[in-house]
Amino acid sequence: MGSVTTQLRASSSSSFTHSLAYDVFLSYRVADAHNNFTYNLHSKLLQQGIKTYLYRRGEEVPLPMLLKVIEESRVSIIIFTENFASSERYLIELVKILQCRESKKQIVWPIYYKVDPLDVRDQQDRFGEAIANHLCTFKDNIEKVLRWRAALTEATKLSGWYFLHGHESNFIHKIVEEISTQVLNAPI
């Protein structure tokens, strides 16, 4: 798939050129795609003309390729679900997304889908259990787990959306509106 050259504005008002393949990268734990929320969000973004990357259940995407897709996206949306932190792969994605936010001025928005942002920030409940398991698994590489913990905390400092219950369609509509404003109105 060919890349498009797009000009982005950094928050300092200076601009830079970067080759982008996608407008939006959706980071989510495939096994946690509750009630098709992520697939519905993806569909609505595509309907708005927003080129969005989503890998689906059963799709084998090598991690290096996935990290490249993150680099080639204008926006990353992290969908935190209760089991997000239990997988090394999604924590690696999270670290990469936050690195791209810093180095490439990528826009990053978290969505807390039926999880409390405080549980993510403080690694409590399922997030705490997952980190404790990673500490055991990676006892010879604690630095890796500490990076993941820091990334979880850092992500909660970003503006985003929180969904506990209600009408998902209204929630998705608000997200798509905001993303459309950022992506479709960005300078080219």
Question: What are the Cα distances from residue 32, in Å, to 98, 110, 181?
Answer: 21, 15, 28
Distance, in Å, from the CA atom of 39 to the CA atom of 74, rounded to the nearest integer, reads 19
| Residue 161 CB neighbours (<10 A) | 16
Could you give the count of Cα atoms lying within 13 Å of 2 in the half-sphere of its Cβ?
3
Cα dihedral sign, 127-130-136-137: negative
Strand segments (E) across 10-130: 15-20, 22-28, 52-53, 73-80, 107-113
Residue 64's identity, in one-letter code, is P
- What does the DSSP 8-state code read for residue 21? S
Nearest CA among 47, 50, 49, 111 for reference residue 77: 111
Specify whether 143 is catalytic: no
C-alpha span between 184 and 162 (Å, rounded): 23
Side chain identity at residue 99, one-letter code: Q
Catalytic-role residue among 93, 102, 168, 177: 93
Residues with catalytic roles: 93
